[in-house]
Chain A
Amino acid sequence: MLGFGISAILLLVGVYFGTRAQKQHIANLESREAALSHIIVTNLKTLPATGNPPQLVTGSVVIAFDYFRRFIATFVMLVGGRITMYEEMLDRARREALLRLLEQADAAGSREVHNVRFEFSRVGSSSQKANIGGGAELLAYGTAVL
């Protein structure tokens, strides 16, 4: 009974703060994306000839797999199908990583970033056991040209 109570409290805390943080983060992402929309981003392998040496740029973020999402995911896994919450979470994280890359490119005075690649890897305390937390790192890297 006590265990159930703790679980319920953790879930409610997770839902409330998680949802609030998500809304704030999406608003934050949209404004930063708009501010950096002048930078051209591609995953093409060839760079345009500019005469200046290119520069490697990276952006990364480590996100937590939270209690609430893991709880819901456990149920979805019984029947299969889309886990929309994870889709949203990974999408936000990837956008954040790309924005950090663009901010680095922007600081270097670049207007174009090519050959952008994304990497995903599990990190943290429980990387071996997907169902008990831990986190994941999303890395974006590319070449900025001046």
Chain B
Amino acid sequence: MILSNTETIPGYTITHHVGLVQGNTVRAKHVGRDLMAGLKNIVGGELKGYTELLEDARKEATQRMIEEAQAKGANAIVNVRFSTSAITAGASELYVYATGVVLG
């Protein structure tokens, strides 16, 4: 599966569009991690626990998108866009969407 956030891929022709493919996941914070984040809020700097949490979540969302594309018969995903939104005080939604295509 080829993933790209560009609209076209040089050297390949898009022969068929399978439509919008998407994946999302909502992750809640962890109490331990939030405690560390509270300390970091005094001195500033990176919140490593959160970085890892969101990276894992984004991988999962991407994986779901890939599964959907495979189910629809696509062999590539183009124009990938990521979006994150805080839905409640302790949880974020990671959303990834793109167009599934068949490359010739």
Which A residues lie at the B interface, using CB under 8 A? 10, 13-14, 17-18, 21-22, 25, 45-51, 53-56, 58, 60-69, 89, 93, 96, 114-115, 117, 119, 121-128, 133-135, 137, 139, 141-143
15 other contacts beyond A54-B9, A133-B41, with CB at 8 A cut-off?
A25-B45, A49-B10, A54-B2, A58-B55, A60-B54, A61-B51, A64-B44, A64-B47, A65-B44, A114-B6, A117-B82, A121-B84, A124-B37, A133-B38, A139-B58
Instruction: Determine if A17 and B34 form an interchain contact, defined as CB atoms under 8 angstroms apart.
Output: no
- List 25 A–B pairs whose Cβ atoms lie within 8 Å, in order of A's numbering: A13-B43, A18-B43, A46-B10, A47-B4, A48-B10, A49-B11, A54-B6, A56-B4, A58-B58, A60-B55, A61-B46, A61-B51, A62-B46, A114-B6, A123-B54, A123-B84, A124-B34, A125-B37, A128-B89, A133-B38, A135-B47, A135-B50, A137-B84, A139-B58, A143-B4
Contact status B50-A123, CB under 8 Å: yes
Q: Summarize B's interface: helix, strand, loop or mixed.
A: mixed
User: B37 CB to closest chain A CB, in angstroms?
Assistant: 6
- Answer yes or no: B16 CB below 8 A from chain A CBs: no
